[in-house]
């Protein structure tokens, strides 16, 4: 799987994050330690950035959208809250999430955690008792592992499968 940096999305994110930095922090009602908007949300988002190229692209663009006073506040605030992750940690995040090396090469025997698409694998019945296609997630690196015959991937269900395994499916299928 090759990975391409989506700079258009990151440019929009940088503009939004700069605007959020000027707002008061709001916290989640159900998880009070998690910021959902405002200054701490921006810092939290930067701290949680998994990919080095994204972090290095977005950080200067956020700063470019801040005024002089806000930039000074941002620099001071950020320096107390986080330091960018080192290359080894970021390489492991790439391996964990996308099953690739920093050079973009697939890691044999690995499947990432990021869903990159879906495939039709049978049919299912929705709440209205209509038969629809059942979709199976495709994870980063899965296609490479399937092509290699690896056991790092789960077997796909039979093409004539009926999901979700509820007892009424057999009656409806007849």
| Peptide bond just before 22 cis, omega within 30 deg | no
Split at pLDDT 50, 70, 90, the class of 50 is confident
In Å, what is the CA distance from 4 to each residue of 8, 41, 51, 99, 104? 11, 26, 12, 14, 9
Nearby residues of 173 by Cβ (< 8 Å), 6 or more positions away: 162
Centroid of chain to Cα 121: 24
Q: Within 13 A of 87's CA, how many CA atoms are on the CB side?
A: 3
| pLDDT digit string, tens, across residues 145-161 | 999 989 888 887 776 66
Predicted model pTM:
0.60
Is pLDDT above 60 for 92? yes
Specify burial of residue 4 (Cβ count, 10 A radius: 0-12, 13-18, 19+): exposed
DSSP string of 42-96? HHHHHHT---HHHHHHHHHHHHHHS-HHHHHHHHHHHHHH--PPPHHHHHHHHHH
Q: What is the DSSP letter of 153?
A: S
Domain assignments of the chain as residue spans, ordered by start: 7-85, 115-173
pLDDT of residue 19: 93
Split at pLDDT 50, 70, 90, the class of 168 is very low
Token pair, residue 26, equals 């709001």
């Amino acid at each position: 799987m090759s990975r391409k940096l989506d700079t258009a999305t990151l440019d929009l994110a940088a503009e939004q994050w700069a605007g959020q930095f000027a707002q008061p922090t709001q916290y989640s009602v159900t998880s009070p330690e998690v910021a959902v908007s405002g200054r701490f949300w921006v810092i939290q988002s930067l701290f949680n950035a998994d990919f080095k190229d994204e972090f290095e692209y977005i950080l200067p663009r956020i700063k470019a959208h801040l005024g002089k006073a806000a930039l000074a506040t941002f620099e001071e605030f950020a320096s107390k809250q986080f330091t960018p992750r080192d290359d080894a940690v970021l390489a492991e995040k790439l391996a964990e999430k996308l099953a690739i090396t920093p050079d973009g090469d697939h890691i044999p025997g690995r499947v990432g955690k990021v869903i990159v698409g879906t495939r039709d694998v049978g049919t299912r019945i929705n709440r209205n008792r209509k038969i629809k296609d059942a979709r199976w997630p495709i994870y980063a690196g899965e296609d490479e592992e399937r092509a290699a015959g690896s056991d790092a991937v789960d077997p796909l269900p039979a093409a004539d499968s009926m999901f979700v395994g509820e007892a009424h499916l057999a009656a409806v299928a007849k």
